[in-house]
Structure 1
Amino acid sequence: MNLVFPHTFVPWFRSVAPYIHAYKGDTFVVAMAGEGIAAGKLNAFVQDLAIMHAMGIKLVLVHGFRPQVNEQLKAKGHPARFSHGIRITDAVALDCAQEAAGQLRFEIEAAFSQGLPNTPMANATVRVVSGNFLTARPVGVVDGIDFQHSGVVRKVDGMAIRRALDTGAVVLLSPFGFSPTGEAFNLTMEDVATSTAIALQADKLLFLTEIPGIRENPDDPDSPIDTEMSLAEAERLLASLPAPHQPTDTAFYLQHCIKACRAGVERSHILPFSVDGALLMEVYTHDGIGTMIVDEKLESLREATADDVGGILQLIEPFERDGTLVKRSRTEIERDISYYTVIEHDGVIFGCAALYPYPEARTGEMAALTISPQVQGQGDGERILKRIEQRAKAMGLESIFVLTTRTMHWFIKRGFQQVDPDWLPEARKRKYDWDRRSQVLVKRLT
């Protein structure tokens, strides 16, 4: 019997809700390397896609088939040949690719048709649509190498794919395209996924790959994954890397993510198929699990507006409940919203603080400084403090002060000094709660 623990499940489910709302109706192109299917990840992957589909996301699924084609070639005693990271597709390889694609399409459609009780597919109804959505042209001869039946995407029938998505179906694309004369070309999964995302101006392009993402130091296999890169950062990194020859090379998927972002796809992702639930973690959690590349940083530090009241209330409520913060009503926050600064990431507020000026004393109170537990330790508190200091200076204030019962050391480390409550401006002193016995700390602004 599965046990549900409300004290962990309910806060977790509530934390996911903003992403469910944000992505409802969005279009995602999801590409899974054939290696992931060969590793037995297909059923779990399809279950996660079905959950996302139920959340209102429009999905285009592109599958790869490198190992499957290699297996077919091996069975026929024919060598697999590659150059420039692309398969050289002779007549035998083309037949093997067609066989592998047909078998994989069958397996994927069967996986989406599951409905076993007590599984994520129970009560799921997911229709899968595929077709000749891709027009292709030959790669041709490159550096003296004839790629024969290997091709690149010439055109994606975005309108037809949109019509299929609008009926509620998942669109399945194999890495095959056809010329206007009916000739078939073997394409790469990466080319198909990137071209389709661009044609649809998709909200996300996600690659489930052999690599865990882009490491902060690509030369160090133990360095942490860079969870978010701006397009400019990604372009600089790509320029410093050697040309990729295989999918495990850092530049291999990175080049496609950059191409998509340059062409208007808002975000592109590289994440590992080896981690169960990687797709859900990447989409529905703050930091994700792989690398996300965006045209500009999604996190913004800005002054609050009336639309932020609900997000601020949700953020500070747990801290009010445990006594860290003084309770504030919705009416108070609505009234004072112009005093607030927030940190927003992808439409969700993860930090806030307010600055209440006392111009007659040339000081201001920083209140309700809050950082979500999900992102604590990442420097957002310092960023908000710096913005509050900038706002105070712009008002001509010479200092800011805080009242705290639990976080005194955090402020002292950042230049605040403790003073007696009698230091407070007269207007603030009258509202001081002597029962709460908050510490008063002041920082001079230079």
Structure 2
Amino acid sequence: MFVDKVKIYVKGGDGGKGMVAFRREPFVPDGGPAGGDGGRGGDVIFRVDEGLRTLVDFRFKKHFRADGGEHGKTKNQHGAKADSLIVRVPPGTVVTNVNTGEVIADLIRVDDEAVIAKGGRGGRGNTRFANSRFKAPDIAEKGEPGEELEIQLELKILADVGLVGFPSVGKSTILSVVSAAKPKIAEYHFTTISPNIGVVKAGDDSFVMADLPGLIEGAHLGVGLGHQFLRHIERTRVIVHVVDMSALEGRDPFNDYQQINAELELYNLRLMERPQLIVANKMDMPDAQENLVKFTEELKQHYKENGLNPDDVKIYEVSALTKKGLDPLVRDIATMLRDLPNILLYDEIGESEEDYKVYRAQQEEKPFTISRDQHVYVVGGEKIEKLVLMTDFSREDGVVRFQRILKGIGVDNALRQAGAKEGDTIRIVEMEFEFVD
């Protein structure tokens, strides 16, 4: 089963709780604080595995949670950090945040990896809060919650060569002949409904060729297999345009050629910058040679009209059925690939190999916000919400510290300016407080 798009849930591990403890050794009067910090939660890391080719494994497991950090201990012993959860994905996986639409990572090369959900830091033990005036703090933090988000995984096939063309022009047959791939072949349209991949040998060289689902008019808008097809052609270095020169189905070969290129251009203009080879297939059929002459004349005229040299027109005459003409095509593709850059996608990762990097979308913490929910004032913001989640409200010192921080960052004044009065209800996350002026 070929799966190239799936949504899953990931969560970094929660940080361990900080410890409230005091020294209790004999002959040490008034022992000070001795509570250790909690350990950091594990990250969720995606790593490219060259042995994977689809996202089918994610159809059966959709939730990935890293372990939480160990809690702090007495005698100033810190909790252990949790191991990261490594999730293996195939080359060409794009990871997107479902809620924001931001691309978190674009994983192309083998062993590329990116942190998708960070683990929370461990809470501080009471030793951390001791100072010259506060020598025996009865306070410790809870661990920070790990990041959690819903993400979409989208696979864009990584192949050196992509076969494009209308349905039933012979792309699958060509792939089956030049490689060891065994795609489904039949005499009806859309036999290929998912990409087939094969490794092609050309002397000492080899390259990866992909037979991509057939294209129809309106594909750039998602018609037919539309985007499923076009998503994969983005990552190919050379486009091999296969044209059915027999015209048995009543279609005009040159119109087919123009329509396919129009769909590629409408989907992504930069696809037209990729080297493209034209393959006239089914040359063993009765009217193919006559159709080829007409096609060549129309193509040369097209070149003239677009300011190109008509002498540059080169068409490979092949018959995938009889295997005639495929060897020169394979040799020329191998020669062309030697001079092309190794980077397979320029649109998103730069113009050269040096520009490429796996990236993680930066998420800036927002300042706090104040809004109204009927008669309740709602205070929001990442820093404020983390403060609530990490405060131990069962300890008086923790409550005092929480109030001091809110006042210090200006929440009290902002609530007054928003109209809050003595006794009004203030909500932060799921906790509600009474406003005291």
Q: TM-score range by the shorter chain?
A: under 0.3
The structure number with the bigger radius of gyration is 2
Q: Highest relative contact order (Cα 8 Å, sep 6+), 1 or 2?
A: 2
Which protein is richer in helix relative to its size?
1
TM-score when scaled to structure 2? 0.26
TM-score when scaled to structure 1? 0.26
